[in-house]
Amino acid sequence: MTYKDLDTIIGTIGLPYAYYQFKEDTGQQPPFICWMLDGIDDLYADNINYQRIAQLTIELYTDEKDFAQEIEIENFLTGLGWSYGKEEEYLDTERMHMTIYTMEVVINAE
């Protein structure tokens, strides 16, 4: 998949979303998603990066713990055939819950 394909896939989750963060003047209210590619774990062959494998992080932000929304996202990821890890954190300063999904995706040239 390309980076554009990945952005389109994230958009089909159905929540407002942005790469890394929303612009400060948007006033975006939860629930929303921020996603990022925060590393690579490429497959190497013949001394080159043979296949780009990106570390994808999808962060769900909610005012209150939202089990139903998490299940929807998890079913969505499972439906794509993606395996993922999950962590959560409460952001005291923002007074929000953040649920973090991490996975690897294969990226092809655009």
pLDDT in tens, 26-60: 888 999 999 999 877 776 778 887 778 889 999 99
CA atoms of 110 and 106, how far apart (whole Å): 12
Name 90's bridge partners.
Answer: 97
Q: What is the 3-state secondary structure (H, E, C) of 32-74?
A: EEEEEEEEECCEEECCEEEEEEEEEEEEEEECCCCHHHHHHHH
> Which of 52, 55, 109, 110 is closest to 82 using CA atoms?
55
* Mean pLDDT calculated for residue range 50-77: 93
pLDDT at 11: 95
Phi/psi for 78 (5° steps) reads -60, -40
Predicted structure pTM score? 0.88
Residue 73 pLDDT more than 80?
yes
Name 103's bridge partners.
Answer: 56
